[in-house]
Amino acid sequence: MTDSPAPAPALPRRQVLADDVYDVLREMLLSGHIPHGSRVKIDALAAQLKISNTPIRQALGRLEADGLVSKHPYRGFVAADLPDRKTISDMYECRLLLEPPTAARAAQEFRAEDRAFLRRQVDVPGGDLTLLAKADELLHGKLATMSGNLVVADALERLLVRSRGFRIFYAKEGAIELTRDEHESIVRAVVAGDGPAAADAMTAHLRSAGERMLASLP
């Protein structure tokens, strides 16, 4: 984990769209550029991004639905606090209900054209926890999409968005190597079309990741 966040993201050099603002603010929240528990200063963000307050407010409404900000009387929008032990435990319990059968279905539905994408998420270069968190999100999301259950895919996307920030802050030493090995086992089973093995590998991964996360709490 680096001592300071990477440079703040910038809006694309084209007409500003609501989705652009949402993407940039979400990255600022997840990367720590907007600290957890701090007030989101709309005027300052509008000046920094060289846009009006309106798209900022619209994006914050969507981010509130994602659980990344909350709206408080007299304070406005506030960046979500890092979750407590019970919240993290509950999130992993939910994922254990959803993802093992989803991985098994993804193995049954595997197509050769999925292989390269899955491998890229396993073979993340270097030791950057931010890159690993993004690859983790892409891998789990792809498996949910491959399963064909769009309700599960949507629910998982929301869980991953909420958990991405705290996974970066609560990472134990050695987490990158362990996560990469666990992802390797999942992808190997999916590519082989082995549904039971994919479900078992996903279960082992989520249990291990949850234990690592809880052990990292102060």
Instruction: Say whether pTM exceeds 0.75.
Output: no
Query: pLDDT band at residue 14, thresholds of 50, 70 and 90?
Result: very low
CATH for the 18-79 domain, from 3.40.50.300, 1.10.10.10, 1.10.357.10, 1.10.1740.10:
1.10.10.10
Half-sphere exposure (CA, 13 Å, Cβ side) for 108?
A: 13
Please give the pLDDT value at position 6: 53
CATH 2.102.10.10 fits 85-215, yes or no: no
- What is the mean predicted confidence (pLDDT) over 187-199? 98
What are the residue ranges spanned by the domains of the chain? 18-79, 85-215
**Which 3-state string (H, E, C) describes the chain?**
CCCCCCCCCCCCCCCCCHHHHHHHHHHHHHHCCCCCCCECCHHHHHHHHCCCHHHHHHHHHHHHHHCCEEEECCCEEEECCCCCHHHHHHHHHHHHHHHHHHHHHHHHCCCHHHHHHHHHHHCCCCCCHHHHHHHHHHHHHHHHHHHCCHHHHHHHHHHHHHHHHHHHHCCCCCHHHHHHHHHHHHHHHHHCCCHHHHHHHHHHHHHHHHHHHHHCCC
Angle at which helices 175-191 and 195-215 cross, to 10°: 170
Q: Dump pLDDT digits (tens) for 171-186.
A: 667 778 888 999 999 9
| Average pLDDT of the residues in 141-166 | 88
Q: Which amino acid is at 39?
A: R
- Over 80: is that where the pLDDT of 126 sits? no
